[in-house]
Structure 1
Amino acid sequence: MREILLIGCGKIGTTIARMLAKTHDYHLTLADLSTQRLSQLKSLPNIRATLPLDVSDPQALDRAMQDKVAVISALAYPLCPTIAQAAQRNKLSYYDLTEDTEVSTHIAELAQSSSPPQIFVPQCGLAPGFIAIVAKHLAEQFDTVDSISMRVGALPLYPTNALKYNLTWSTLGLINEYCQPCQILQDGKLHSVPALSELESLSIDGTRYEAFHTSGGVGSLCSSLLTQARHIDYKTIRYPGHRDLIRFLLHDLKFESRRGLLCELMENAIPSTEQDYVLSFCNVTGTKEGKLIQLSDARKIYHTQLDGKHLSAIQFTTAASLCAVVDLTQLAPTPNQSGLIHQEDIPLTDFLKNRFGKYFELGNTESAQVTQPSAIIASN
């Protein structure tokens, strides 16, 4: 049994706890500021302990990490560096879900001083995360790669407000994605473009959507494929009109400089929902045997039930992706593995064979319904 510390028992953290606990391969210590959240998870199997924890207390954080092999951060991105630093000094492997590029860069620097079997695996969610695994897999089918386009969105099934959106994960993380610069690869060189820029329209299964640049979703793929591709970009999918309203809030009303207030306003005005679905689309063009070809991967994943608990699609896919990565690196580690592991380093075939990664399989009927959209058309 692997001893794991999971910090953060919100929607995603709770789902991670439920998924890992039922495997009987992990002993979990669950930590959170909220004793109420912890009390709701005590009855899960293989829970070693529940621990009220303030991660700003370094001594308490170090004590929580004693006798553990790994720590998972399911907290908001600003708290991840503190946990990663504690993992480094306590010789634990580290996993998180952060989309923030500065945080990921900091964690990559920490990983440089690690030694086997300690590893650092940031960005283990859906995007960044699974989408980079898919992109790398498609790119490997080509002799030369021209462009990689990644499009991902978590959308309510029944949008009713002007934003046509419901809160399904970290509001602070959502706002951060809408504000921070976005990395792309253009003509073989790294560039930064503004969030919310380069709006495009899409039609998927007869439904109209829009997509635009947001920060973090590309993960480390641009750097990993710097010498192998000409163009790489990532955009978030939303219902039409969403981008313009968000830009009005952030730029015209200047909430970009008052993110805490905007977070409070959104959480008091926009309800959350578990009735959602995730769209994941990756398109790669390049040459193979002298011919210009295109390969695509498209998945539509709906909200689901897990052990009688209703889960939103974004909650389910994010947690399942992280759990698959933990499984692949903790139960079947590569020899002498250490340091930083990028999501795109994980083979898609291994991911989909995993007991958690299989939830992303097309046609899967054991959990969330995963279908392949019948048509995807994009135009700038």
Structure 2
Amino acid sequence: MKRIIVAGAGKIGSAVADMLAASGDYAVVLADRSGGQLAAAGVSGAVERRELDVRDGAALDLILAGAYAVLSAAPFHLTIGIAEAAARAGVHYLDLTEDVASTRRVRDLAETANSAFIPQCGLAPGFISIVAHDIASRFDTLDSVRMRVGALPQYPSNALNYNLTWSTDGVINEYCEPCEAIVDGHRVEVPAMEEREEFSLDGVTYEAFNTSGGLGSLCETYLGRVRTLNYRTIRYPGHAAIMKALLNDLGLRHRRDVLKDILENALPATVQDVVVIFVTVSGRRQGRLVQDSYASKIYSRRVGARLYSAIQVTTASAACAVLDMLAAGQLPALGFIRQEDIPLEAFLANRFGAAYAQGEEEALRQRGRLAHS
């Protein structure tokens, strides 16, 4: 039985640990520096819980000794230390970060590592890159690749039209850091929270705007092959204007600890959420300009005896699927592996990746009901 270390006992880390342990194929250790966080994780008795401060390099080396892989679900600013420990221990490394600088360091470590390094294994970055690459591969030449993803409350009840569904640090980071894109064939950085647009899907109006990290490594992969490539986060209309006032007018982008405290004490968490995934690719096929799209909505659901939010389902399932494919020999066991290197068909066929296939089926049923209403 392969031993897996999951670093971080938050909403996503605990879901990853529980899903892996429930498969019966992995011995899972859930590590966190907070005993209270571990106690509140709600994982099954099959998961070993261990207090560990990942900033303690010696303790981290000790827990990784003999492990098959470590999966970082810790805050983004702890990612590099965990990746460096994985390289020292020679164990496989996966993470969920959207932080661009951390991923660059992971890529550097992979060049000399004796194991696989697979960053950004969540929803966005993560699954969204797998989908976009799969669609883009069907074209002779590409014009544009546009990716839109959002984790939203099903029942918004405040002016921000938002509830906390995952890492507050992660949300703030993607709202503040520069965003990569390809514009007119050139790789550029564009400001977060800008280039707002509105669109409708299944009769619901959304807004979308630039956020950092969602493209993963796609800018590098598609540079010179596409005119336009961008990623934007989906929210309900009105959210961006208020967040920009907080970040820019009140200067809270420079006081992230204050902003985090405000959000966590003003916005309730919810498991009644929906993840919206929308990818549109245009280009030429057999000389004709055509467009293909992928749209899916995934809702909170029960997995076994536990109710998971939609963002837990999508993020944890994606990470578990990639790890499971690695363990099954479906992915290279050495070097840096990009999300777009992962075949969509194999991902959806995986027992964990099947959560996304179920989302596709639900979206098709919903559109069928709308068409006949």
Rounded to whole Å, the distance in 2 between the matches of 1:43 and 1:8 is: 13
Residue 329 of structure 1 deviates from its aligned partner by 1.0
Change (3 A) 1:235 1:373: farther
2:116 is aligned, of 95, 112, 119, to 119
Pair 1:236 & 2:241 matched: no
After superposition, the C-alpha distances for 1:319-369 in whole angstroms (9 at most, x for unaligned) are 00000000111222446x31110101101001000001111115678xxx5
Change (3 A) 1:32 1:230: same
Normalization by structure 2: what TM-score? 0.95
Matches within 5 A, 1:33-44: 33-39=33-39, 44=44
Q: CA contact under 8 A between 2:280 and 2:291: conserved in structure 1?
A: yes
The one-letter code sitting in structure 1 at the alignment partner of 2:335 is G
The one-letter code sitting in structure 2 at the alignment partner of 1:101 is V
Matches within 5 A, 1:1-380: 1-39=1-39, 44=44, 46-47=46-47, 49-115=48-114, 118-334=115-331, 337-362=333-358, 369-371=362-364, 374=367
- Give the root-mean-square deviation of aligned CA atoms: 1.7
Rounded to whole Å, the distance in 2 between the matches of 1:340 and 1:205 is: 38
Q: CA contact under 8 A between 1:361 and 1:370: conserved in structure 2?
A: no
Residue 52 of structure 1 deviates from its aligned partner by 0.6
- Please, which runs of 5 or more residues in structure 1 have no aligned partner? 376-380
Q: Identify which range, 210-219 or 301-310, moves more after superposition.
A: 301-310
Normalization by structure 1: what TM-score? 0.93
Q: CA contact under 8 A between 1:3 and 1:26: conserved in structure 2?
A: yes
Q: CA contact under 8 A between 2:331 and 2:342: conserved in structure 1?
A: no
Residue 271 of structure 1 deviates from its aligned partner by 0.6
The one-letter code sitting in structure 1 at the alignment partner of 2:350 is N
| 3-state SS of 1:361 partner | helix
Change (3 A) 1:296 1:304: same
Residue 237 of structure 1 deviates from its aligned partner by 0.6
The one-letter code sitting in structure 1 at the alignment partner of 2:94 is Y
| 3-state SS of 2:24 partner | coil
After superposition, the C-alpha distances for 1:171-214 in whole angstroms (9 at most, x for unaligned) are 01100100000000112221000001111011111111101000
Rounded to whole Å, the distance in 2 between the matches of 1:21 and 1:125 is: 18
The one-letter code sitting in structure 2 at the alignment partner of 1:141 is R
Greater helix share, structure number: 2
After superposition, the C-alpha distances for 1:148-187 in whole angstroms (9 at most, x for unaligned) are 0000011101111110000000001100100000000112
- Please, which runs of 5 or more residues in structure 2 have no aligned partner? 369-373
Identity %: 48
Residue 372 of structure 1 deviates from its aligned partner by 6.9
| 3-state SS of 1:36 partner | helix
Match of 1:378 in 2: none
Rounded to whole Å, the distance in 1 between the matches of 2:84 and 2:188 is: 29
Rounded to whole Å, the distance in 2 between the matches of 1:111 and 1:94 is: 9
Rounded to whole Å, the distance in 2 between the matches of 1:285 and 1:333 is: 30
| 3-state SS of 1:12 partner | helix
| 3-state SS of 1:329 partner | helix
